[in-house]
């Protein structure tokens, strides 16, 4: 491929094609002596190396899925929850069945991703997933059951809502109570399993959207910014306005502001 008749701007446009730079173009740039072309070539090579590293990382995220499928377990669901620690709002869980080694670049524990990246990945996960579902445990259930059991309840609901019944469940942290399906609990599973990571992203995005909706109802607390966590802004609003119906009555300092009328579960 002869690039001598093309300007650097034209070469850059070709290199930035939505389909990616063709191998023939990259080889031609490697032999071009123009400094501008060399810079484009170096950038493309850096991106190529970064993509290869990301693909290797992503392949490791499918270790448990590959192992279980090799043992005849299919389909597999990954399950995780979001919202154990906040002072307000429900705990939300998601269950996801991915098709083999789904190509979801940057898939990871939701806590390691920016809000924008989570939103993008949530859309991609929903597009490629064989099935996905969400389960919720309310503020009242968190108080009556305690947060641990409420989280497990939300996860069980998410699994039971799946349109495809999984043959096996990979779950972050703890086995799901009263779920009559084979399952494996992985500590830190949202960073080890692609299916659990996908579930963690859907659960987090869904819960964040819920907290945004609560902000419209109770704007004085700033739920759209802190999502119910105990930030200085949230604690200041609690002290000023007192708890609202979506605050968790059994959590301090909410409990203290209620005059100690509610017991911690």
150 and 126 part of one domain:
yes
Question: What confidence score (pLDDT) does residue 20 get?
Answer: 67
Rounded to the nearest 10 degrees, how much is the dihedral formed by the CA atoms of 155, 247, 251, 145? -40
pLDDT, the chain, mean: 91
Question: What confidence score (pLDDT) does residue 41 get?
Answer: 85
Question: What confidence score (pLDDT) does residue 152 get?
Answer: 97
Average pLDDT over residues 101-114: 93
52 and 67 part of one domain:
no
Question: Does the pLDDT value for residue 156 go beyond 60?
Answer: yes
70 and 157 part of one domain:
yes
Structure tokens at 148: 């641990």
**Range(s) of the domain holding residue 176:** 63-213
State how far the Cα of 236 lies from the Cα of 128, in Å rounded to an integer: 42
209 and 170 part of one domain:
yes
Phi, psi of 80, deg, nearest 5: -155, 165
* CA 150 centroid distance within chain: 20
Task: Count the alpha carbons within 13 Å of 163 in the hemisphere toward its beta carbon.
Answer: 5
Of residues 207, 11, 225, 2, the one with CA closest to residue 110: 207
State how far the Cα of 90 lies from the Cα of 198, in Å rounded to an integer: 20
Q: Per the domain annotation, does 262 fall within a domain?
A: no
Band of pLDDT at residue 262, cut at 50, 70 and 90? very low
Question: Does the pLDDT value for residue 61 go beyond 50?
Answer: yes
Question: Does the pLDDT value for residue 48 go beyond 70?
Answer: yes
143 and 158 part of one domain:
yes
Tally of domains within the chain: 3
Q: Per the domain annotation, does 113 fall within a domain?
A: yes
Contacts of 85 (CB under 8 A, 6+ apart): 229, 230
205 and 225 part of one domain:
no
Q: Per the domain annotation, does 264 fall within a domain?
A: no
> What is the CB neighbour count within 10 angstroms for residue 87?
22
Burial environment of residue 139 by CB neighbours within 10 A (0 to 12, 13 to 18, 19 or more) = buried
Q: Which of 7-16, 51-60, 148-157, 250-259 has the highest mean pLDDT?
A: 148-157
Q: Over pLDDT 90: what percentage of the chain?
A: 74
Task: Count the alpha carbons within 13 Å of 259 in the hemisphere toward its beta carbon.
Answer: 1
Question: What confidence score (pLDDT) does residue 265 get?
Answer: 31
Contacts of 206 (CB under 8 A, 6+ apart): 82, 92, 94, 134
State how far the Cα of 140 lies from the Cα of 187, in Å rounded to an integer: 27
What's the CATH number where 166 sits?
Answer: 3.30.420.10
């Amino acid at each position: 491929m002869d690039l001598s008749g093309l300007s650097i701007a034209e070469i850059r446009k070709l290199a930035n094609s939505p389909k990616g730079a063709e191998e023939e173009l990259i080889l031609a740039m490697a032999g071009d002596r123009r400094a501008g072309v060399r810079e484009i070539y170096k950038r493309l090579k850096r991106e190529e190396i970064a993509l290869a590293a990301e693909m290797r990382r992503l392949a490791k995220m499918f270790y448990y899925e590959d192992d279980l499928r090799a043992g005849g377990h299919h389909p597999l669901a990954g399950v995780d929850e979001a919202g154990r620690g906040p002072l307000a709002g429900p705990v939300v869980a998601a269950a996801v069945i991915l098709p083999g080694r789904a190509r979801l670049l940057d898939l990871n524990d939701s806590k390691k991703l920016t809000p924008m990246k989570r939103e993008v990945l949530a859309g991609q996960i929903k597009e490629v997933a064989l099935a996905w579902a969400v389960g919720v445990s309310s503020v009242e259930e968190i108080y009556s059951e305690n947060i641990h059991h409420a989280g497990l309840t939300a996860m069980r609901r998410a699994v039971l809502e799946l349109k495809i019944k999984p043959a096996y469940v990979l779950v972050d942290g703890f086995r799901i109570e009263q779920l009559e399906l084979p399952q494996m609990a992985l500590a830190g599973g949202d960073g080890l399993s692609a299916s659990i990571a996908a579930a963690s992203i859907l659960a987090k995005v869904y819960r964040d959207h819920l907290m945004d909706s609560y902000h419209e109802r109770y704007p004085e607390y700033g739920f759209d910014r802190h999502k119910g966590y105990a930030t200085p802004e949230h604690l200041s609003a609690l002290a000023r306005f007192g708890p609202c119906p979506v605050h968790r009555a059994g959590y301090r300092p909410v409990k203290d502001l209620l005059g100690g009328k509610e017991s911690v579960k």
